[in-house]
Amino acid sequence: MSSAYFNLATEADNEELLHFLHNNPMPGRISISLERSPNFFFGASIEGETHQTLVGRTATHNRIIATGGRSVRKMWIDGRPTSVGYLGQLRIDSEFRNNGKFIIRGYQHMRELHQIFQRTESGTEFYITTIVSDNRTAMRLLSHNVKGMPQYGRYGELSSFLLPVRRAIFSSLKPSGINIRQALPKDLASIVDCLQRNYQRFQFAPVWTKEDFRNQSRTRGLCIEDFILAENASGDVCGVMALWDQTAFKQTVICGYSPIFSGIAALSRGMGELFNTPRLPKVGAPLPFAFVSHVAVDGDNRDVFIQLLSCLQQIAHLRNILFLTIGLADNHPLTFVLRRLLVKVEYRSTIFTVCWNDGEKTLSDIDSQRIPHPELAVL
């Protein structure tokens, strides 16, 4: 498609980008539009230390017909902080979605960005990305190593859970010798220590520093008081978890339900009216939720995890948040706890590593047995 061209988005493109995202939802059993009102770039800033958004446009009217995001941040790889890229925000206008040549051209421009920034602080040898398992078109295109495309390698599965907020979802029994409390500004160093010693066990977990929490562009909408801590009998922090409400700059709008989920949504609304419980929104309405983020528990202790999540539910209830969403790898030891819940909606994505030729050696050397732990709230 020679009548299209690509360039980097700027603040001047904000309104058109918001319009484009609204009109190009992600397909699946629950079709959703990931929107970023009032400013597209507020959401992009939390994805990494650096971020670029590539847009494809029609040559005749300069209309945006595709987007793709590239961000780079420090992640834990084999126990070491490493610069890793994330490819996201891939959206293509329905008119051009099946145009393979157009998509390949877009990736060629993304490769040029990769090469330009390779020798700077925005450089990386490889990327990760996630694709919703129901998105068969993207899975078919991106996972079959089509000529002219980067190499996609399946690494693992990410399970995301949508949990209705209720006063109590687990037993109120607390593990012996454990104190659960809300964090205070003085706890910042202990929070970072807990995150670092736990996250270095995983692949693709963000490397969080004290500076990240002082930089509001990196943790927009999140403050230390949004964290819940677990302390052992010695007063040491042994688990953390945060309630990250991003609705001020990122929204998830329901665009459609599959027949099965349409029935579930209708049932949730009926049950909600009877028992005053959260209900899935109607088509066209936003999903009122916050992320459960920064999940780190020493030894993956299930009892501590349960108490942290229960406390977070109570805080969310007081803040009139109706749903929580949490993402853990399918093989994470704590995913089992979430699957035991009777009331939940689970949807799955596949985690891929992505590289061009210059990243093949690095990717072949990483430990593929380590459990992945990307942060859903920054994807």
CA distance 126 to 363: 7
H or E element that contains 45: helix 40-45
65 Rama sector, left if φ>0, alpha if ψ -120 to 50, beta otherwise: alpha
**HSE-up of residue 112 (Cα within 13 Å, Cβ side):** 10
**Is 4-157+349-361+372-378's fold the same as 162-251+275-347's?**
yes
Q: Does residue 311 have a pLDDT over 80?
A: yes
Predicted pLDDT of residue 216: 86
Q: Say if pTM beats, i.e. exceeds, 0.75.
A: yes
Predicted pLDDT of residue 266: 65
Q: CB within 8 A of 349, min separation 6: which ones?
A: 130, 131, 132, 133, 157, 158, 160
pLDDT band per the 50, 70, 90 thresholds, residue 139: confident
Q: CB within 8 A of 67, min separation 6: which ones?
A: 9, 17, 20, 21, 53, 54, 55, 56, 89, 90, 91
CA distance 5 to 105: 9
Q: Could you report how far apart the first and last alpha carbons of the chain are, in Å? A: 30
**HSE-up of residue 302 (Cα within 13 Å, Cβ side):** 11
Fold that domain 4-157+349-361+372-378 belongs to in CATH: Aminopeptidase (3.40.630)
Q: Which CATH superfamily is domain 162-251+275-347 in?
A: Gcn5-related N-acetyltransferase (GNAT) (3.40.630.30)
Predicted pLDDT of residue 1: 52
pLDDT average, residue stretch 10-23: 97
pLDDT above 90 coverage of the chain, percent: 76
Q: Is the CB of residue 43 less than 8 Å from the CB of residue 89?
A: no
Sequence spans of domains, the chain? 4-157+349-361+372-378, 162-251+275-347
Q: Look at strands 64-77 and 50-58 and give their pairing.
A: antiparallel
Q: Look at strands 64-77 and 205-206 and give their pairing.
A: antiparallel
Per-residue pLDDT tens for 246-291?
999 999 999 998 877 776 566 565 555 555 557 778 899 999 999 9
Rounded to the nearest integer, the mean pLDDT of the chain is 91
